[in-house]
Amino acid sequence: MAITAEMVKELRTKTGAGMMDCKRALQETNGDMEKAIEYLREKGLAAAAKRAGRAAAEGVIEAYIHLGEKLGVLVEVNCETDFVARTPEFKEFARDIAMQVAAANPQYVSPDDIPQEVLDKEREILRAQTLNEGKPEKVVDRIVEGRLEKFREEVCLLEQPFIKDPEKKVKDLLTEKIARIGENIIIRRFVRFQLGETQG
């Protein structure tokens, strides 16, 4: 199929990718616009994965105080350059993450941050619950692992559904931002304060 300049322009408008990348994507997908968008997204995400190893020592500390001033969050989000840290898109991303922490109350940034003893304790509790439900011994471990996965999704910021778009996880949003901005971005840490709550 012949790839016209109009098709390339349309794809560029939809994706923000470079002209040559758009042309290549259309050639690779036989002019199918939806597949070309998917192709470019995959390329972008692949580029994001390559950036993940780069040092990210710049960034912002974003504060979010919820309406009523009874709940507040501080998050540190890092990037590679001060230039990116000052952009409205990066600041908005940091604010979205602070709002996510306020709304969804994660305990850890990623599953790697969960201490082994916490996982072991949770596994023990879930195993007891599953056995109490009368499930056959041979399927208990599989059920427990499934529930443990759900536990990780609930307590880890990166695994949670994004509050503004529950169809994607926070880690998907992060990957998209890395691809769009062109720098490695790391959600370093957060702290959430709720009035009257004692720190565990």
pLDDT tens digits along 42-79: 777 556 666 666 777 899 999 999 888 999 999 999 99
First-to-last CA distance in the chain?
Answer: 63
State which fold the 115-155 domain adopts: GTP Cyclohydrolase I; Chain A, domain 1 (1.10.286)
Please state, in angstroms and rounded to a whole number, the distance separating the CA atoms of residues 101 and 172. Answer: 16
Return the pLDDT at 138. Answer: 84
119: nearest Cα among 82, 147, 89: 147
pTM above 0.75, yes or no: no
CB 62 within 8 A of CB 97: yes
Residue 178: φ, ψ to 5°? -60, -45
Regions of the chain where pLDDT drops below 70: 15-16, 18, 45-53, 198-200
Q: Which CATH superfamily is domain 5-51 in?
A: Ubiquitin-associated (UBA) domain (1.10.8.10)
**pLDDT per position as a tens digit, 127-136:** 999 888 888 8
Count other C-beta atoms under 10 Å from residue 6's C-beta.
8
In CATH, 58-109+156-194 is 3.20.10.10: no
Question: Is 56 within 8 Å of 41 (Cβ atoms)?
Answer: no
Domain boundaries, the chain: 5-51, 58-109+156-194, 115-155
